Amino acid sequence: MELLEQRIIKDGVVKKGNVLKVDSFLNHQIDIELYSEIGAEFARLYKDCDVTKILTIEASGIGIACVTAQSFNNVPVVFAKKNKTTNISDDVYSSKVVSYTHGREYEIVVSKSYIKPEDRILIIDDFLANGKALEGLIKIINQAGATVVGAGIVIEKGFQPGGENLRKQGVRVESLAIVESMNDETGEIVFRH
Amino acid sequence: MELLEQRIIKDGVVKKGNVLKVDSFLNHQIDIELYSEIGAEFARLYKDCDVTKILTIEASGIGIACVTAQSFNNVPVVFAKKNKTTNISDDVYSSKVVSYTHGREYEIVVSKSYIKPEDRILIIDDFLANGKALEGLIKIINQAGATVVGAGIVIEKGFQPGGENLRKQGVRVESLAIVESMNDETGEIVFRH
Protein backbone atom coordinates (compact mmCIF):
# COMPACT_ATOMS: atom_id res chain seq x y z
CA MET A 1 0.00 0.00 0.00
CA GLU A 2 1.83 2.99 -1.42
CA LEU A 3 0.28 5.59 0.92
CA LEU A 4 1.31 3.56 3.97
CA GLU A 5 4.86 2.93 2.76
CA GLN A 6 5.30 6.65 2.07
CA ARG A 7 4.06 7.45 5.55
CA ILE A 8 6.42 4.93 7.14
CA ILE A 9 9.34 6.44 5.20
CA LYS A 10 8.28 9.95 6.22
CA ASP A 11 7.38 9.44 9.89
CA GLY A 12 8.69 6.02 10.94
CA VAL A 13 11.86 5.86 13.04
CA VAL A 14 14.18 2.85 13.07
CA LYS A 15 15.50 2.08 16.53
CA LYS A 16 18.03 -0.42 17.81
CA GLY A 17 16.79 -3.96 18.36
CA ASN A 18 14.65 -4.17 15.21
CA VAL A 19 12.18 -1.61 16.53
CA LEU A 20 10.22 0.40 13.97
CA LYS A 21 8.62 3.30 15.80
CA VAL A 22 5.44 4.43 14.10
CA ASP A 23 3.72 5.84 17.13
CA SER A 24 3.19 9.29 15.61
CA PHE A 25 0.46 7.95 13.30
CA LEU A 26 -0.31 4.27 13.95
CA ASN A 27 -0.18 3.08 17.53
CA HIS A 28 0.03 5.87 20.07
CA GLN A 29 -1.09 8.95 18.20
CA ILE A 30 -3.50 7.84 15.48
CA ASP A 31 -4.16 9.30 12.03
CA ILE A 32 -7.83 8.41 11.61
CA GLU A 33 -7.89 9.11 7.87
CA LEU A 34 -5.02 6.68 7.42
CA TYR A 35 -6.95 4.09 9.46
CA SER A 36 -9.91 4.56 7.08
CA GLU A 37 -7.64 3.99 4.07
CA ILE A 38 -6.20 0.90 5.75
CA GLY A 39 -9.69 -0.43 6.46
CA ALA A 40 -10.78 0.16 2.87
CA GLU A 41 -7.71 -1.74 1.61
CA PHE A 42 -8.41 -4.73 3.88
CA ALA A 43 -12.00 -4.68 2.59
CA ARG A 44 -10.74 -4.72 -1.00
CA LEU A 45 -8.44 -7.67 -0.27
CA TYR A 46 -11.05 -9.73 1.60
CA LYS A 47 -14.18 -8.53 -0.16
CA ASP A 48 -15.41 -11.93 -1.38
CA CYS A 49 -14.71 -13.80 1.85
CA ASP A 50 -18.04 -13.36 3.68
CA VAL A 51 -16.34 -12.05 6.81
CA THR A 52 -18.81 -12.14 9.73
CA LYS A 53 -16.52 -10.88 12.47
CA ILE A 54 -13.19 -9.16 13.04
CA LEU A 55 -10.91 -10.40 15.80
CA THR A 56 -8.00 -8.42 17.19
CA ILE A 57 -5.98 -8.13 20.37
CA GLU A 58 -5.65 -5.26 22.81
CA ALA A 59 -4.47 -2.60 22.73
CA SER A 60 -3.23 -1.14 19.45
CA GLY A 61 -5.23 -3.49 17.22
CA ILE A 62 -8.58 -2.24 18.52
CA GLY A 63 -8.80 1.10 16.74
CA ILE A 64 -7.70 -0.35 13.40
CA ALA A 65 -10.21 -3.20 13.78
CA CYS A 66 -13.09 -0.82 14.58
CA VAL A 67 -12.44 1.46 11.61
CA THR A 68 -11.85 -1.55 9.34
CA ALA A 69 -15.20 -3.05 10.42
CA GLN A 70 -16.92 -0.02 8.89
CA SER A 71 -15.64 -1.15 5.49
CA PHE A 72 -17.10 -4.62 6.13
CA ASN A 73 -20.72 -3.49 6.61
CA ASN A 74 -20.15 -2.91 10.32
CA VAL A 75 -19.49 -6.54 11.26
CA PRO A 76 -18.85 -6.88 15.02
CA VAL A 77 -15.32 -6.55 16.36
CA VAL A 78 -14.06 -8.75 19.18
CA PHE A 79 -10.79 -8.01 20.93
CA ALA A 80 -8.87 -10.64 22.86
CA LYS A 81 -7.83 -9.48 26.30
CA LYS A 82 -4.35 -9.96 27.68
CA ASN A 83 -4.57 -11.68 31.01
CA LYS A 84 -1.75 -11.65 33.50
CA THR A 85 -3.58 -13.71 36.11
CA THR A 86 -3.61 -17.48 36.13
CA ASN A 87 -7.33 -17.62 36.83
CA ILE A 88 -8.93 -18.42 33.51
CA SER A 89 -12.64 -19.14 33.80
CA ASP A 90 -14.50 -21.87 31.91
CA ASP A 91 -16.46 -19.41 29.81
CA VAL A 92 -13.47 -18.22 27.78
CA TYR A 93 -11.24 -19.54 25.04
CA SER A 94 -7.61 -18.93 25.89
CA SER A 95 -4.11 -19.31 24.51
CA LYS A 96 -0.61 -18.62 25.79
CA VAL A 97 1.51 -16.11 23.90
CA VAL A 98 5.24 -15.50 24.28
CA SER A 99 6.13 -11.87 23.66
CA TYR A 100 9.67 -11.34 22.44
CA THR A 101 9.24 -7.56 22.66
CA HIS A 102 8.40 -7.62 26.33
CA GLY A 103 10.26 -10.79 27.23
CA ARG A 104 7.36 -12.46 28.96
CA GLU A 105 4.51 -14.90 28.50
CA TYR A 106 0.90 -13.88 28.81
CA GLU A 107 -2.48 -15.43 28.22
CA ILE A 108 -5.04 -14.07 25.77
CA VAL A 109 -8.71 -14.73 26.38
CA VAL A 110 -11.97 -14.34 24.46
CA SER A 111 -15.40 -15.02 25.91
CA LYS A 112 -16.98 -18.13 24.37
CA SER A 113 -20.13 -16.08 23.75
CA TYR A 114 -18.52 -14.02 21.02
CA ILE A 115 -17.06 -16.59 18.63
CA LYS A 116 -19.43 -19.13 17.13
CA PRO A 117 -18.68 -22.12 14.83
CA GLU A 118 -20.46 -20.39 11.93
CA ASP A 119 -18.24 -17.29 12.18
CA ARG A 120 -15.86 -16.44 9.34
CA ILE A 121 -13.19 -14.40 11.04
CA LEU A 122 -10.73 -11.84 9.76
CA ILE A 123 -7.87 -11.18 12.19
CA ILE A 124 -6.57 -7.60 12.25
CA ASP A 125 -3.39 -6.35 13.92
CA ASP A 126 -0.94 -3.51 13.58
CA PHE A 127 2.31 -5.53 13.52
CA LEU A 128 3.45 -9.01 12.53
CA ALA A 129 6.96 -10.00 13.59
CA ASN A 130 7.37 -13.41 15.20
CA GLY A 131 3.67 -14.13 14.79
CA LYS A 132 3.05 -15.40 18.29
CA ALA A 133 0.04 -13.16 18.97
CA LEU A 134 -1.48 -14.15 15.62
CA GLU A 135 -0.91 -17.83 16.35
CA GLY A 136 -2.66 -17.37 19.69
CA LEU A 137 -5.67 -15.76 18.01
CA ILE A 138 -5.83 -18.58 15.45
CA LYS A 139 -5.78 -21.15 18.26
CA ILE A 140 -8.73 -19.40 19.88
CA ILE A 141 -10.68 -19.37 16.60
CA ASN A 142 -9.92 -23.07 16.19
CA GLN A 143 -11.10 -23.80 19.74
CA ALA A 144 -14.41 -22.18 18.79
CA GLY A 145 -14.64 -24.24 15.59
CA ALA A 146 -14.91 -21.06 13.54
CA THR A 147 -13.20 -20.31 10.22
CA VAL A 148 -10.05 -18.20 9.87
CA VAL A 149 -10.57 -16.21 6.67
CA GLY A 150 -7.14 -14.65 7.01
CA ALA A 151 -5.14 -11.95 8.68
CA GLY A 152 -4.91 -8.28 7.79
CA ILE A 153 -1.67 -6.78 9.05
CA VAL A 154 -0.63 -3.16 8.73
CA ILE A 155 3.15 -3.66 8.98
CA GLU A 156 4.96 -6.98 8.67
CA LYS A 157 8.61 -7.29 9.59
CA GLY A 158 9.59 -9.52 6.69
CA PHE A 159 12.97 -10.28 8.23
CA GLN A 160 11.31 -12.00 11.17
CA PRO A 161 9.74 -15.43 10.72
CA GLY A 162 6.08 -14.90 11.68
CA GLY A 163 4.63 -14.19 8.25
CA GLU A 164 6.50 -17.00 6.51
CA ASN A 165 5.55 -19.54 9.19
CA LEU A 166 1.88 -18.65 9.02
CA ARG A 167 1.73 -18.70 5.22
CA LYS A 168 3.43 -22.14 5.25
CA GLN A 169 0.64 -23.31 7.54
CA GLY A 170 -1.85 -22.20 4.89
CA VAL A 171 -3.04 -19.04 6.62
CA ARG A 172 -3.80 -16.18 4.24
CA VAL A 173 -1.77 -13.21 5.48
CA GLU A 174 -2.16 -9.82 3.78
CA SER A 175 0.29 -7.21 5.03
CA LEU A 176 -0.11 -3.67 3.72
CA ALA A 177 3.60 -2.97 4.12
CA ILE A 178 6.32 -5.59 4.42
CA VAL A 179 9.64 -4.31 5.70
CA GLU A 180 12.39 -6.29 4.00
CA SER A 181 15.18 -4.65 5.95
CA MET A 182 15.86 -1.59 8.04
CA ASN A 183 18.95 0.08 9.39
CA ASP A 184 19.00 1.91 12.70
CA GLU A 185 22.21 3.72 11.82
CA THR A 186 21.16 5.16 8.45
CA GLY A 187 17.41 5.10 9.13
CA GLU A 188 16.90 3.35 5.79
CA ILE A 189 13.78 1.19 5.37
CA VAL A 190 13.45 -1.18 2.40
CA PHE A 191 10.07 -2.66 1.53
CA ARG A 192 9.33 -6.02 -0.14
CA HIS A 193 7.16 -5.82 -3.28
CA MET B 1 -28.98 8.83 24.99
CA GLU B 2 -32.10 6.77 24.57
CA LEU B 3 -30.63 4.21 22.14
CA LEU B 4 -27.78 3.48 24.55
CA GLU B 5 -30.01 3.16 27.63
CA GLN B 6 -32.27 0.75 25.75
CA ARG B 7 -29.25 -1.31 24.75
CA ILE B 8 -27.94 -1.40 28.33
CA ILE B 9 -31.37 -2.54 29.56
CA LYS B 10 -31.52 -5.20 26.83
CA ASP B 11 -27.97 -6.58 26.90
CA GLY B 12 -26.31 -5.28 30.08
CA VAL B 13 -25.89 -7.67 32.99
CA VAL B 14 -25.65 -6.50 36.59
CA LYS B 15 -23.10 -8.47 38.61
CA LYS B 16 -22.12 -8.45 42.26
CA GLY B 17 -19.73 -5.72 43.37
CA ASN B 18 -21.28 -2.90 41.32
CA VAL B 19 -20.19 -4.48 38.05
CA LEU B 20 -22.23 -3.66 34.95
CA LYS B 21 -21.24 -6.12 32.26
CA VAL B 22 -21.71 -4.65 28.79
CA ASP B 23 -19.10 -6.71 27.01
CA SER B 24 -21.50 -8.06 24.40
CA PHE B 25 -21.65 -4.68 22.65
CA LEU B 26 -19.30 -2.12 24.23
CA ASN B 27 -15.97 -3.39 25.51
CA HIS B 28 -15.15 -6.92 24.43
CA GLN B 29 -17.44 -7.56 21.48
CA ILE B 30 -18.17 -4.23 19.82
CA ASP B 31 -21.26 -3.01 17.96
CA ILE B 32 -19.67 -0.64 15.45
CA GLU B 33 -22.96 1.02 14.48
CA LEU B 34 -23.56 1.85 18.14
CA TYR B 35 -20.03 3.30 18.33
CA SER B 36 -20.88 5.55 15.36
CA GLU B 37 -24.06 6.75 17.10
CA ILE B 38 -22.04 7.40 20.26
CA GLY B 39 -19.43 9.36 18.30
CA ALA B 40 -22.11 11.45 16.61
CA GLU B 41 -23.66 12.27 19.98
CA PHE B 42 -20.31 13.38 21.45
CA ALA B 43 -19.84 15.56 18.35
CA ARG B 44 -23.27 17.12 18.90
CA LEU B 45 -22.46 17.87 22.54
CA TYR B 46 -19.00 19.31 21.88
CA LYS B 47 -19.56 20.75 18.42
CA ASP B 48 -18.64 24.36 19.22
CA CYS B 49 -15.57 23.55 21.29
CA ASP B 50 -12.85 23.55 18.61
CA VAL B 51 -11.58 20.12 19.65
CA THR B 52 -8.14 19.52 18.11
CA LYS B 53 -7.41 16.10 19.61
CA ILE B 54 -9.08 13.20 21.38
CA LEU B 55 -7.30 11.57 24.32
CA THR B 56 -8.24 8.18 25.72
CA ILE B 57 -6.65 5.33 27.61
CA GLU B 58 -6.01 1.75 26.58
CA ALA B 59 -7.67 -0.58 26.02
CA SER B 60 -11.43 -0.23 25.73
CA GLY B 61 -11.44 3.53 25.13
CA ILE B 62 -9.44 3.26 21.90
CA GLY B 63 -12.15 2.00 19.57
CA ILE B 64 -14.72 4.51 20.82
CA ALA B 65 -12.19 7.33 20.49
CA CYS B 66 -11.26 6.36 16.91
CA VAL B 67 -14.87 6.17 15.71
CA THR B 68 -15.73 9.38 17.59
CA ALA B 69 -12.83 11.19 15.90
CA GLN B 70 -14.55 10.61 12.56
CA SER B 71 -17.39 12.86 13.78
CA PHE B 72 -14.82 15.54 14.68
CA ASN B 73 -13.37 15.94 11.18
CA ASN B 74 -10.84 13.17 11.80
CA VAL B 75 -8.89 14.93 14.56
CA PRO B 76 -5.98 12.76 15.77
CA VAL B 77 -6.55 10.31 18.61
CA VAL B 78 -3.91 9.74 21.29
CA PHE B 79 -4.20 6.89 23.73
CA ALA B 80 -2.40 6.82 27.06
CA LYS B 81 -0.51 3.60 27.66
CA LYS B 82 -0.76 1.78 30.94
CA ASN B 83 2.78 0.45 31.01
CA LYS B 84 6.00 1.79 29.66
CA THR B 85 7.06 -0.32 26.73
CA THR B 86 10.30 -0.30 24.82
CA ASN B 87 8.50 1.42 21.93
CA ILE B 88 7.77 4.57 23.97
CA SER B 89 10.53 7.13 24.39
CA ASP B 90 11.50 8.37 27.82
CA ASP B 91 10.12 11.73 26.86
CA VAL B 92 6.65 11.20 28.30
CA TYR B 93 4.06 12.83 30.51
CA SER B 94 2.95 10.41 33.20
CA SER B 95 0.52 10.06 36.04
CA LYS B 96 -0.20 7.39 38.64
CA VAL B 97 -3.70 5.88 38.69
CA VAL B 98 -5.22 3.75 41.43
CA SER B 99 -7.61 1.17 40.02
CA TYR B 100 -10.32 0.09 42.44
CA THR B 101 -11.51 -2.55 40.00
CA HIS B 102 -8.17 -4.31 39.83
CA GLY B 103 -6.90 -3.27 43.28
CA ARG B 104 -3.59 -1.94 42.05
CA GLU B 105 -1.76 1.19 41.05
CA TYR B 106 -0.41 1.74 37.58
CA GLU B 107 1.24 4.47 35.59
CA ILE B 108 -0.23 6.01 32.45
CA VAL B 109 2.07 7.64 29.95
CA VAL B 110 1.73 9.82 26.87
CA SER B 111 4.63 10.87 24.69
CA LYS B 112 5.34 14.59 25.01
CA SER B 113 5.36 14.80 21.21
CA TYR B 114 1.61 14.24 20.97
CA ILE B 115 0.11 16.86 23.28
CA LYS B 116 0.97 20.49 22.66
CA PRO B 117 0.00 23.62 24.65
CA GLU B 118 -2.29 24.79 21.84
CA ASP B 119 -4.29 21.54 21.86
CA ARG B 120 -7.95 21.60 22.93
CA ILE B 121 -8.55 18.07 24.11
CA LEU B 122 -11.67 15.98 24.47
CA ILE B 123 -11.20 12.96 26.72
CA ILE B 124 -13.17 9.85 25.74
CA ASP B 125 -13.69 6.72 27.82
CA ASP B 126 -16.18 3.89 28.12
CA PHE B 127 -16.79 4.04 31.89
CA LEU B 128 -16.64 6.61 34.67
CA ALA B 129 -16.89 5.30 38.22
CA ASN B 130 -14.36 6.62 40.72
CA GLY B 131 -12.81 8.85 38.10
CA LYS B 132 -9.20 7.98 38.79
CA ALA B 133 -8.29 7.24 35.17
CA LEU B 134 -9.94 10.48 34.05
CA GLU B 135 -8.06 12.45 36.73
CA GLY B 136 -4.82 10.90 35.50
CA LEU B 137 -5.56 11.94 31.92
CA ILE B 138 -6.39 15.49 33.06
CA LYS B 139 -3.08 15.66 34.96
CA ILE B 140 -1.27 14.69 31.79
CA ILE B 141 -3.09 17.36 29.76
CA ASN B 142 -2.23 19.92 32.45
CA GLN B 143 1.44 18.86 32.37
CA ALA B 144 1.40 19.63 28.66
CA GLY B 145 -0.23 23.03 29.25
CA ALA B 146 -3.07 22.06 26.90
CA THR B 147 -6.80 22.75 27.40
CA VAL B 148 -9.27 20.15 28.67
CA VAL B 149 -12.45 20.81 26.68
CA GLY B 150 -14.30 18.11 28.60
CA ALA B 151 -14.89 14.41 28.90
CA GLY B 152 -17.22 12.23 26.85
CA ILE B 153 -18.17 9.13 28.79
CA VAL B 154 -20.35 6.30 27.51
CA ILE B 155 -21.57 4.98 30.87
CA GLU B 156 -21.23 6.78 34.19
CA LYS B 157 -21.95 5.00 37.45
CA GLY B 158 -23.80 7.87 39.10
CA PHE B 159 -23.70 6.15 42.49
CA GLN B 160 -19.89 6.33 42.53
CA PRO B 161 -18.17 9.66 43.18
CA GLY B 162 -16.04 10.23 40.07
CA GLY B 163 -18.50 12.27 38.03
CA GLU B 164 -19.54 14.52 40.89
CA ASN B 165 -15.94 15.17 41.96
CA LEU B 166 -14.86 16.12 38.45
CA ARG B 167 -17.86 18.41 37.85
CA LYS B 168 -17.15 20.13 41.19
CA GLN B 169 -13.61 20.77 39.92
CA GLY B 170 -15.16 22.52 36.91
CA VAL B 171 -14.53 19.78 34.38
CA ARG B 172 -17.31 19.42 31.81
CA VAL B 173 -18.38 15.77 31.90
CA GLU B 174 -20.98 14.51 29.42
CA SER B 175 -22.09 10.94 30.06
CA LEU B 176 -24.41 9.36 27.51
CA ALA B 177 -25.96 7.11 30.16
CA ILE B 178 -25.81 7.69 33.91
CA VAL B 179 -26.73 4.69 36.03
CA GLU B 180 -28.47 5.96 39.15
CA SER B 181 -28.76 2.54 40.73
CA MET B 182 -28.61 -1.12 39.81
CA ASN B 183 -29.53 -4.34 41.54
CA ASP B 184 -27.62 -7.56 41.00
CA GLU B 185 -30.47 -9.67 42.40
CA THR B 186 -33.31 -8.33 40.28
CA GLY B 187 -31.12 -7.13 37.39
CA GLU B 188 -32.89 -3.76 37.51
CA ILE B 189 -31.02 -0.71 36.18
CA VAL B 190 -32.30 2.82 36.86
CA PHE B 191 -30.94 5.76 34.85
CA ARG B 192 -30.61 9.39 35.96
CA HIS B 193 -32.30 11.91 33.66
pLDDT in tens, A85-121: 656 678 999 999 998 777 788 999 999 999 999 999 9
Region B32-52 average pLDDT: 98
**What confidence score (pLDDT) does residue A103 get?**
76
Distance of CA B32 to the CA centre of its chain: 17
Give the residues across from B54 on adjacent strands. B77, B122
3-class secondary structure per residue, chain A: CHHHHHHHHHHCEEECCCEEECCCCCCCEECHHHHHHHHHHHHHHCCCCCCCEEEEECCCHHHHHHHHHHCCCCCCEEEEEEECCCCCCCCEEEEEEEECCCCEEEEEEEEHHHCCCCCEEEEEEEEECCCHHHHHHHHHHHHHCCEEEEEEEEEEECCCCHHHHHHHCCCCEEEEEEEEEECCCCCCEEECC
Q: Between A33, A66, A101, which is nearest B63 by CB?
A: A66
Q: Is A99 on the interface with B (CB under 8 A)?
A: no
Number of A:B CB contacts under 8 A? 114
Mean pLDDT, chain B, whole residue set: 95
pLDDT digits (tens, 9 = 90+) for B1-39: 999 999 999 999 999 999 999 999 999 999 999 999 999
Query: CB–CB of B67 and A66 under 8 A?
Result: yes
Query: Residue A33's closest chain B neighbor by CA?
Result: B74
B153-181 pLDDT, tens digit per residue, is 999 999 999 999 999 999 999 999 999 99
| Residue A79 to chain B, least CA–CA distance (Å) | 6
Which site among A37, A62, A77 would you substitute to test the B interface, given the most B Cβ atoms closer than 10 Å to its Cβ? A62
Question: What pLDDT digit, counting tens, does each position of A40-88 carry?
Answer: 999 999 999 999 999 999 999 999 999 999 999 999 999 999 986 656 6
Q: Which stretches does DSSP call E strand in chain B? A: 13-15, 19-21, 29-30, 53-57, 77-80, 92-99, 104-111, 120-128, 147-157, 173-182, 189-191
